[in-house]
């Protein structure tokens, strides 16, 4: 009888989500300790991390989780990624996943890791996110908006041969509620393209920016805010890229239950605000995104949001490379999971020097993936970029035996 491998040991809550994703993809048990153990008020796992563990449990079969009494130690033994197999019919049903009201992270915190797992699942991944904790806009905690996930993250899967039946629908918009917690939005993800192995990627020409697209949204506030944000952003971007188009969306504020003694059926509005998501596309298909939303406390003019987002987009493009900082972890993880060949990706120095990227490289090495090879990019238009060479592990999809 084969002996099981010992669990991989990690400490602190940093990079927790990607460690759990890598554990699920590689089938290795992880033991994570010292999770906010030094915090006097909130030690252990945060509410959004508990919600992510519940989501992992919903899309896998056979996963086992052990959390210590204080929440500072987590042991996760992964199961098989099954997707939405719980419903009737060959395609499976929809997983209805509800987020609690104390969630302060944007929905992209859950969507980006879920999309990493979806190509390797046994059945299509269909998840409907509901509940008083769904925030579709960008958040003060640094999460991007659902619009940017749809326009700047999901199209990158084309590079790996994953492009069929992928949809992300925003059924109800929401900004962060009071103190940045709660939202009341509703989002549906359908990821129906499962592959045996992602294709090997060679992307070393960033090209030139040919168009800018965006979505500006107002939730429960005047639609004139949209026009003011668009005018300011286009005033900055049009001289640089004339092909700039921003789609405007005005939505009513979501209602969430707020029962009291006098009226058990009472509801209240939540998630009011406005924001802007911009994506720049280059001639070679590279995408760069920027996201800004009004703070939960208010007090910021739409013109400031438009200006901030436009400059943020220009800063992202100026960092160089073929991938934006927000999408770099997704690209590197998919390259590592691909066929046993060397893939190459050109990235900016600031992107690869980000502490989260360095931690991801260390975690991948811990999970048995070969180290990254890094060399300077050569050519006329390479402003200090580097070429990262990644050897695929050939993990693939155990639930799908044919390509």
Each residue's pLDDT tens digit, 250-294: 988 888 777 788 888 888 888 889 999 999 999 988 999 999 999
Beta bridge partners of 346: 387
Question: In the listed set 14, 48, 81, which residue is the last one of a domain according to the structure?
Answer: 81
Averaged pLDDT of the chain:
88
Pick 247 or 5 by higher pLDDT.
Answer: 247
Tell me which residue range forms the domain holding 62.
1-81
Cα separations in angstroms, 380 against 332, 335, 384: 25, 26, 10
| Residue 282 within a domain | yes
Whether residue 348 is predicted with pLDDT greater than 80 in this model: the reply is yes
Q: Check if the beta carbon of residue 157 is closer than 8 Å to that of residue 339.
A: no
Of 2-16, 194-208, 209-223, 375-389, the range with the highest mean pLDDT is: 209-223
Provide the pLDDT for residue 403. 41
Question: In the listed set 318, 333, 366, which residue is the last one of a domain according to the structure?
Answer: 318
What CATH number has the domain bearing residue 216?
3.30.360.20
| Residue 71 within a domain | yes
Whether residue 402 is predicted with pLDDT greater than 50 in this model: the reply is no
Question: In the listed set 290, 318, 346, which residue is the last one of a domain according to the structure?
Answer: 318
Work out the percent of the chain whose per-residue pLDDT is above 90.
52
| Residue 291 within a domain | yes
Whether residue 356 is predicted with pLDDT greater than 60 in this model: the reply is yes
- pTM of this structure: 0.92
| Residue 391 within a domain | no
Which of the four pLDDT bands, split at 50, 70 and 90, describes residue 6? confident
Whether residue 381 is predicted with pLDDT greater than 60 in this model: the reply is no
Provide the pLDDT for residue 77. 93
Q: Check if the beta carbon of residue 204 is closer than 8 Å to that of residue 387.
A: yes
Which of the four pLDDT bands, split at 50, 70 and 90, describes residue 400? low
Task: Give a three-class secondary structure readout of the chain.
Answer: CCCCCCCEEEECCCCHHHHHHHHHHHCCCEEEECCCCCCCCCCCCCHHHHHHHHHHHHHEECCEEEECCCCCCEEEECCEECCCCCCCCCCCCCEEEECCCCCCCCCHHHHHHHHHHHHHCCCCEEEEEECCCCCCCCCCCCCCCHHHHHHHHHHHHHHHCCCCCEEEEEEECCCCCHHHCCCCCEEEEEECCCCCCCCCCEECCCCCEEEEEEEEEEECCCCHHHHHHHHHHHHHHCCCCCCEEEEEEEECCCEEECCCCCCCCCEEECCCEEEEEEEEEECCCCEEEEEEECCCCCCCCHHHHHHHHHHHHHHHHHCCECCCHHHHHHHHHHHHHCCCCEEEEEECHHHHCCHHHHHHHHHHHHCCCCCCEEEECCCCCCCCCEEEEEECCCCCCCCCCCC
For tokens 């402003």, what's the residue?
383
Q: List the structure tokens of 95.
A: 């997983």
Which of the four pLDDT bands, split at 50, 70 and 90, describes residue 42? confident
| Residue 77 within a domain | yes
| Residue 251 within a domain | yes
Domain count, the chain: 2
Whether residue 340 is predicted with pLDDT greater than 50 in this model: the reply is yes
CB atoms near residue 159 (< 10 Å):
22
Whether residue 390 is predicted with pLDDT greater than 70 in this model: the reply is yes
pLDDT digits (tens, 9 = 90+) for 209-245: 999 999 999 998 888 999 999 999 999 999 998 899 9
| Residue 68 within a domain | yes
Nearest Cα to Cα of residue 175 among 99, 251, 98: 251
In this structure, of 141-150, 329-338, 388-397, the range with the lowest mean pLDDT score is 388-397
**Sign of the alpha-carbon torsion through 197, 326, 65, 96:** negative
| Residue 313 within a domain | yes
């Amino acid at each position: 009888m084969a002996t099981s491998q010992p669990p991989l040991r990690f400490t602190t809550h940093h990079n927790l989500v990607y460690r759990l994703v890598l554990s699920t993809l590689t089938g290795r048990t992880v033991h994570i300790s010292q999770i906010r153990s030094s915090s006097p008020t909130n030690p252990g796992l945060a509410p959004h991390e508990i919600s992510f563990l519940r989501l992992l449990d919903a899309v896998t079969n056979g996963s086992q989780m052990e959390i210590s009494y204080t929440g500072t130690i987590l042991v996760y033994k992964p199961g098989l990624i099954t997707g939405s197999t719980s419903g009737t019919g060959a395609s499976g049903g929809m997983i209805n996943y509800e987020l609690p009201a104390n969630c302060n992270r944007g929905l992209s915190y859950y969507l980006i890791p879920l999309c990493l797992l979806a190509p390797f699942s046994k059945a299509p991944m269909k998840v409907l996110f509901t509940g008083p904790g769904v925030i579709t806009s960008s958040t003060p905690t640094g999460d991007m908006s659902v619009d940017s996930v749809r326009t700047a993250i999901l199209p990158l899967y084309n590079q790996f041969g994953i492009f069929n039946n992928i949809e992300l629908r925003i059924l109800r918009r929401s900004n962060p509620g009071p103190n940045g917690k709660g939202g009341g939005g509703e989002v549906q993800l359908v990821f129906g393209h499962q592959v045996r192995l992602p294709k090997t990627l060679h992307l070393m020409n960033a090209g030139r920016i040919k168009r800018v697209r965006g979505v500006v949204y107002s939730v429960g506030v005047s639609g004139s805010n949209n026009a003011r944000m668009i005018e300011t952003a286009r005033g900055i971007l049009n001289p640089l890229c004339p092909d700039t188009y921003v789609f405007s969306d005005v939505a009513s504020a979501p209602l969430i239950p707020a029962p009291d003694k006098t009226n058990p059926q009472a509801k209240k509005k939540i998630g009011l605000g406005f924001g802007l998501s911009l994506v720049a596309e280059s001639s070679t298909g590279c995408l760069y995104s920027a996201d800004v939303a009004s703070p939960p406390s208010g007090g910021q003019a739409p013109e400031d949001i438009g200006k901030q987002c436009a400059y943020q987009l220009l800063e992202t493009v100026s960092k160089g490379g073929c991938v934006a900082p927000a999408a770099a972890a997704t690209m590197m993880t998919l390259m590592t999971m691909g066929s046993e060949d060397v893939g190459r990706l050109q990235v900016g120095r600031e992107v690869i020097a980000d502490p989260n990227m360095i931690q991801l490289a260390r975690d991948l090495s811990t999970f048995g993936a070969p180290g990254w090879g890094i060399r300077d990019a050569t050519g006329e238009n390479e402003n200090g970029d580097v070429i990262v060479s990644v050897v695929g592990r050939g993990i693939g999809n155990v639930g799908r035996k044919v390509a």
